[in-house]
A and B are shown apart, each in its own frame.
Chain A
Amino acid sequence: MSSLAIGKADTAAGTTPGTAQSRPPLRRRIALIPTVTLLLGALYCLLPVAWVVIAATKSGSELFSTFTFLPGTGFADNFSDLSAYRDGVYWEWMGNSALYAGLGALLSTVVSALSGYALAIYRFRGRETIFNVLLAGVLMPPVILAIPQYLLLAKVDLTDSYLGVLLPQLLSPYGVYLSRIYAAAAVPADVVEAGRMDGAGEWRLFTRVALPMMVPGMVTVFLFQFVAIWNNFLLPYIMLSDDEKFPITLGLFTLLEQGANTPALYTLVITGAFLAVIPLVALFLVVQRFWSLDLLSGAVKS
């Protein structure tokens, strides 16, 4: 059906060249249904976020007594209570998440860039096999990986350590896939060939010629991996037992586990959730312009 539609459209467009330009501008009005639908969608998506922002300002008693969307007066207290909780372990969790996600995503992007470049630019024996095998990693349920990863890392004493959480997340099959697409689109093969003719080594060609062209795509890969590691729960849940090494997701979960039966701890959990949302949302707002989301669907305009 799709090929039919394309064929028909192509012929139609071919027979009426220039129509788009020569038509007078249409009367400007708001498309009501789409705008309202999208606003409802935005409302749905923002509702829990708005709720947590307001709930974080409420003291324990206000949380249960005042109307949900009425701001409270307890944010400063909640903040200092949370910071004081177990000698500030909350901020250790935040720091750990930043470390896991920041360093992990950086190293992961380097691995992806190297692999994507090699797969896109060179023709070599086993190229498609290597690509497909790496890509198959996307399909592996994390659980079939995480438990044996834990057992194997236990044999070399790396469980319950920073490395135990970092190492298994360094290879991102999706990152390799995106890097390959991006390198194929952004790095012209003849430029690399010309550099080679001028006598540049393969490593130098990569770092000096290809890598600068790949930067925008690599920013996207970095952000994907950053979000993936920041949001990961299962791996640290399995790997860690010392709560000073917990990332924020796991820390909040243990806080909720303790707080569920004691409503007095609700405010801590809610304030913790609110503060945990800030870094990634801020990151999104700052970098969204550098983020080529069209990479998602594999569509790269060259």
Chain B
Amino acid sequence: MKGAPYAHPSPTTTLKRARSAPYFFLLPATILFALFFALPIGYAVWLSLHKVKVSGLGLGAGARKEVWAGLENYTDALTDSELVDGALRVLGYGCIVVPVMLGLALLFALMLDSDKVRLAPFTRLAIFLPYAIPGVVAALLWGFLYLPDVSPFYYVLEKLGMPQPDLLDGGPLYLALSNIAVWGGTGFNMIVIYTSLQAIPAEVYEAARLDGATPLQIALRIKIPMVAPSLVLTFFFSIIATLQVFSEPTTLKPLTNSVSTTWSPLMKVYQDAFGKGDIYAAAAQATIIALATLLLSFGFLRAANRRNKRDVSQGGVR
């Protein structure tokens, strides 16, 4: 890969350089992938299959030895009630977040795309704005809005003489956490869906309109089916992101006792790795979460593809 141009390169050297060039261009990505993706994943899997054996009193350098544990850490993890409870909580949370967030995103995208809508650039930017706000800050803002002492909602409820539910406990806590995720993610997904709506040629609608279709019919029968690939894509990434929720419940933790240190599976992994110092158990749990995430997201993708012939995984790549 010489920088200087040759005056008269022979066809063979040109071909040779052209042949090896892509590998040079891909070298940084490949090295980074090996060091920061492949190696850590391999190491996590290795750790998950090992445990520490303490001999004697556990004192001295040779007293703690890493020994093969087989699938012991995995069976421990799957029977660990904290991890299972966390997984169930996050599934419940995901069942609220994903449909509400994508439903709103689709609704707003369709509204932006409709004729004669006013203030569209302003509202589009406003709804997209939360994307620029870190999850921690979003959780912090909403956390304060949930606190009776400073919240405007409680102020209004109090003035109206209405009951004031504790938003940071029990069932409402799910809604409170879900709301943070919906708030943060709707705008991004809206833009994804909106851009694919924009890609639909105008003649398509014109034809439908001539056939006497109402805007609602056009939205339901033409627009939604045509943006199905991007809906599948947003669903896919939303599932992955939702199952890995960490920073929002972690941020709310100081504000309420109802969020335990093991509220979500990821928090449980963190707790086991750094709180208890059992990196072997944590590695097995992390591996299970990764596998479950991949199973769920790809299971969804397969189911969606069966219904929809257009394959998102290759969408747009030529």
Give the residue of A20, A185, A256 whose beta carbon is less than 8 angstroms from that of B203: A20
Q: Is the CB of A168 within 8 A of B36?
A: yes
Once bound together, how far apart are the Cα atoms of A298 and B246, in whole Å? 28
Q: Is the CB of A233 within 8 A of B134?
A: yes
* Min C-beta distance of B165 to chain A, whole Å: 18
Q: Is A151 an interface residue, CB under 8 A from the partner?
A: yes
Q: Is the CB of A253 within 8 A of B136?
A: yes
Q: Is the CB of B141 within 8 A of A273?
A: yes
Once bound together, how far apart are the Cα atoms of A114 and B31, in whole Å? 13
For B104, the chain A residues whose CB sits under 8 A away are 41
Q: Which residue of A lies closest to B114 (CB)?
A: A34
Once bound together, how far apart are the Cα atoms of A284 and B5, in whole Å? 40
* Min C-beta distance of B82 to chain A, whole Å: 15
Q: Is the CB of B133 within 8 A of A297?
A: no
* Min C-beta distance of B226 to chain A, whole Å: 6
Q: Is the CB of B183 within 8 A of A140?
A: no
Q: Which residue of A lies closest to B189 (CB)?
A: A296
Stretch of B21-29, B66-74, B91-99 on the interface side: B21-29
A196-B247 in contact given A114-B26, A180-B317, A201-B2 (Cβ < 8 Å): no
Once bound together, how far apart are the Cα atoms of A252 and B136, in whole Å? 8
Q: Is B150 an interface residue, CB under 8 A from the partner?
A: yes
Q: Is the CB of B290 within 8 A of A144?
A: yes
Q: Is the CB of A203 within 8 A of B317?
A: no
Once bound together, how far apart are the Cα atoms of A2 and B228, in whole Å? 8
Contact with A along B215-245 (1 / 0, CB 8 A): 0000001100110101001000000100110
Contact with A along B272-299 (1 / 0, CB 8 A): 0110000100110011011001100100
Once bound together, how far apart are the Cα atoms of A44 and B196, in whole Å? 24
Chain B interface residue number, banded: 35 or more
* Min C-beta distance of B149 to chain A, whole Å: 6
Contact with A along B111-142 (1 / 0, CB 8 A): 11011111110111111111111111110111
Once bound together, how far apart are the Cα atoms of A196 and B151, in whole Å? 65
Q: Is A106 an interface residue, CB under 8 A from the partner?
A: no
For B1, the chain A residues whose CB sits under 8 A away are 201-203
Once bound together, how far apart are the Cα atoms of A49 and B144, in whole Å? 12
* Min C-beta distance of A231 to chain B, whole Å: 4
Once bound together, how far apart are the Cα atoms of A250 and B315, in whole Å? 36
Chain A interface residue number, banded: 35 or more
Give the residue of B9, B130, B226, B309 whose beta carbon is less than 8 angstroms from that of A5: B226
A277-B9 in contact given A37-B111, A55-B150, A141-B240 (Cβ < 8 Å): no
Once bound together, how far apart are the Cα atoms of A5 and B219, in whole Å? 12
For B290, the chain A residues whose CB sits under 8 A away are 140-141, 144
Q: Is A90 an interface residue, CB under 8 A from the partner?
A: no
Contact with A along B1-40 (1 / 0, CB 8 A): 1111111110000100111011111101110110111011
Q: Is A288 an interface residue, CB under 8 A from the partner?
A: yes
Contact with B along A62-88 (1 / 0, CB 8 A): 011001110000000000000000000
Q: Which residue of A lies closest to B151 (CB)?
A: A68
Q: Is the CB of B18 within 8 A of A20?
A: no
**In the complex, number of A-B residue pairs with CB atoms less than 8 Å apart:** 359
For B283, the chain A residues whose CB sits under 8 A away are 147-148
Q: Is the CB of B297 within 8 A of A68?
A: no
Selected A-B contacts with CB under 8 Å, 29 pairs = A1-B225, A2-B308, A5-B225, A26-B115, A28-B116, A31-B115, A31-B118, A35-B111, A38-B123, A39-B119, A64-B149, A141-B244, A144-B41, A145-B36, A148-B39, A181-B318, A196-B18, A201-B6, A202-B24, A227-B131, A233-B246, A233-B250, A249-B136, A249-B137, A266-B150, A276-B137, A285-B125, A298-B317, A299-B199
Interface residues of B (CB under 8 A from A): 1-9, 14, 17-19, 21-26, 28-30, 32-33, 35-37, 39-41, 43-44, 47, 104, 107-108, 110-112, 114-120, 122-138, 140-145, 149-152, 155, 183, 186-188, 191-193, 195-196, 198-199, 201-204, 206-208, 210-211, 221-222, 225-226, 228, 230, 233, 240, 243-244, 246-247, 250-251, 254-255, 266, 269-270, 273-274, 279, 282-283, 286-287, 289-290, 293-294, 297, 308-310, 315-318
Known: A149-B36, A231-B133. 17 other contacts (CB 8 A): A9-B208, A34-B114, A38-B111, A68-B150, A112-B29, A137-B37, A141-B289, A151-B43, A204-B5, A227-B132, A253-B250, A253-B251, A263-B149, A273-B140, A276-B134, A296-B195, A297-B233
Interface residues of A (CB under 8 A from B): 1-3, 5-6, 9, 12-13, 16, 19-20, 26, 28-31, 33-35, 37-39, 41-42, 44-49, 51-52, 55, 63-64, 67-69, 110-112, 114-115, 117-119, 121-122, 124, 127, 130, 133-134, 137, 139-145, 147-149, 151-152, 167-168, 170-171, 176-177, 180-181, 184-185, 196, 198-204, 206, 227, 230-231, 233-234, 237-238, 248-250, 252-253, 256-257, 259-261, 263, 266, 269-270, 273, 276-277, 280-281, 283-285, 288, 293-294, 296-301
